[in-house]
Amino acid sequence: MPEGHTVHALVGRLNRAFAGHPVSASSPQGRFAQGAALLDGRVLLEGSAWGKHLFVELDGDAWLHVHLGLIGSFPVVPLPEGLRGLPAARLPVTGQVRLRLVGTEHVADLRGPNLCAVETPEEVAAVQARLGPDPLRPDADPAPAWERIRRSTRGIGELVMDQAILAGVGNVYRCEVLYRHRVDPFRPGTQIRRSTWQAIWEDLALLMPLGVAYNQILTMEDQVAEAVDEVERGMAAPHPPGLTGERLGAHFERRFYLYQRAGEPCRTCGSRIRSMPVAGRTLYWCGRCQRRG
């Protein structure tokens, strides 16, 4: 499932391609024909993200609400020179496209979402009110998440995946961040120290923007240090505009401390990495390294 950084990166692509201009909206698949008709011809004002939810504001108080779910994708692709200016209906379609947005120079095709709806501002506000703080939002306050965590008897490995507690964190960030701080994923929230929660939050606030910039999750310390250095020196700036969302970024080698390494040796202590389903996804952890509360 796309994690929060993927949706925030998508927002950037949509805004760069369409913000401030009218868009042509259609549903080549036909399943969203009525919704697309409500959006067609409106000016796209601004997209935003809260966790794994995408919200796109268009003029006239119309909001597009998308949740990509497990398999959804929404790449924003430059139109080839030969196709620019053609009516949207004449552009080629690949696969089952639920919603297509077309501007003067770009096309965005939504495929396989869990949710695609046109909503009112009040409905959008109600969805956002149910979500926990998002480490990628500048207005995020981690305090409400901590209040819920410290009162819960559920394990921290389950709590950080609860979008009503912490929005945007998926399985990869869960496994890797808990390992980075040596936190026992089964330790109940009532036994988690506030300093531990603060360290987890601050680490997510460091790592997830790197995911936006490079369109890949970076958690290995050497890669994180290199990425942070590139961002600080402005070397990462060319990456986001060049990414379309069609595939993962490849600037860094894809490797992790734990994720999808069940049975392999821990990179720190050499003991076998364990795995089991927790909160609907496979949790990976090191029983020797992760004992902290």
Measure the CA angle with vertex 199, ends 193 and 205; round to 5°: 140
- Residue located via tokens 């389903």: 277
Best CA proximity match to 245, nearest among 225, 269, 215: 215
The two three-digit tokens of residue 7, written as one number: 């949706």
CA dist., res. 50 & res. 10, Å (int): 12
Strands annotated E in the chain? 21-22, 24-26, 43-50, 53-58, 62-67, 76-78, 99-102, 106-110, 115-119, 274-278, 281-285
Return the structure tokens found at 162. Answer: 């609860």
CA 49, CA 54: separation in Å to the nearest integer? 5
**Cα–Cα distance between 91 and 97 in angstroms, integer?**
12
The catalytic residue among 3, 57, 158, 176 is: 3
Reply yes or no on whether 46 is catalytic: no
Angle of helix 221-232 versus helix 194-214 axis, rounded to 10: 60
What CA–CA distance (Å, rounded) separates 191 from 150? 7
Separation of alpha carbons 227 and 222, rounded Å:
9
Length of the chain: 293
Q: Which of 13, 28, 52, 100 is catalytic?
A: 52
Among 2, 135, 142, 185, which one carries the catalytic annotation? 2
Strand-pairing partners, residue 118, are 64
How far apart, in Å, are the Cα atoms of 103 and each of 19, 43, 109, 114, 270?
10, 10, 12, 24, 53
Residue 281 a catalytic site member: yes
Give the angle 41-42-47 at the CA atoms, nearest 5°.
130
Residue 3 appears among annotated catalytic residues = yes
Active-site residue among 154, 281, 288, 292? 281
Tell me which residues are annotated as active site: 2-3, 52, 281
